[in-house]
């Protein structure tokens, strides 16, 4: 049987039931950035599958429902996007359905979409913010409102 090689990405996932789970997600080589970093947001946005594979540190295999994710933290930082960005980052504070608030910055990629409202209104369910430089992948379906500067 043919297997597609996968890259393990350590993450922490916050679910709608307020459970936080640590483990690893998996991406294929075609979902790496030009700098060689996994683009989990692309995996979540491009796949029509409702569930994705996840492995806990103890080795327990789970299928996680994307619709029940509030956010995902990963080890990536904003150094690459900060170096490439020609547009000033925008601050935001997202208020979620589980009464959790997350602050961070978004880095617009094109001038026509430089406002926070442009970024959160894109056709993707998941978008990236950076909190103190750490990459967070946010599920916009669980945002109640956003304060933006």
Neighbour tally for 55: CB within 10 Å? 14
Span 17-46, mean pLDDT?
86
Span 8-31, mean pLDDT?
92
Span 24-45, mean pLDDT?
83
Structure-block tokens of residue 67: 């619709």
Is the per-residue pLDDT at 86 higher than 70? yes
Fold (CATH) for 7-75: SH3 type barrels. (2.30.30)
Is the per-residue pLDDT at 32 higher than 80? no
- With cut-offs at 50, 70 and 90, classify the pLDDT of residue 1: low
What 3-state class would DSSP assign to 55?
strand
Asked if 57 and 77 count as a contact pair (C-beta separation under 8 A), the reply is no
Position 52 scores a pLDDT of: 93
User: Residue ranges per domain, the chain?
Assistant: 7-75, 76-148
Q: In whole numbers, what is the pLDDT of the chain averaged over residues?
A: 90
Position 112 scores a pLDDT of: 81
Alpha carbon distance 108, 86 (integer Å): 9
pLDDT in tens, 99-124: 999 999 999 888 887 889 998 898 89
Contacts of 106 (CB under 8 A, 6+ apart): 89, 90, 92, 116, 119, 127, 128, 129, 130
Structure-block tokens of residue 61: 């295999």
Query: Which pTM does this prediction carry?
Result: 0.91
Is the per-residue pLDDT at 47 higher than 80? no
| Top-level class of domain 76-148 | mainly beta
CA atoms 63, 38, 119, 138: torsion sign: positive
């Amino acid at each position: 049987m043919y297997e597609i090689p996968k890259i393990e990405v350590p993450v922490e996932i916050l679910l709608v039931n307020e459970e936080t789970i640590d483990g690893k997600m998996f991406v294929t080589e075609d979902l790496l950035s030009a700098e060689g970093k996994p683009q989990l947001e692309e995996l979540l946005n491009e796949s029509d599958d409702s569930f994705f594979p996840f492995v806990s540190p103890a080795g327990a295999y789970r299928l996680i429902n994307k619709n029940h994710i509030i956010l995902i933290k990963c080890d990536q930082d904003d150094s690459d996007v900060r170096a490439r960005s020609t547009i000033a980052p925008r601050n935001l504070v997202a208020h979620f359905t589980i009464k959790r608030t997350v602050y961070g910055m978004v880095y617009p990629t094109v001038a026509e979409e430089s406002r926070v409202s442009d970024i959160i209104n894109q056709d993707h369910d998941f978008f990236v913010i950076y909190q103190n430089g750490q990459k967070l992948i946010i599920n916009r379906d669980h945002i109640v409102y956003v304060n933006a500067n």
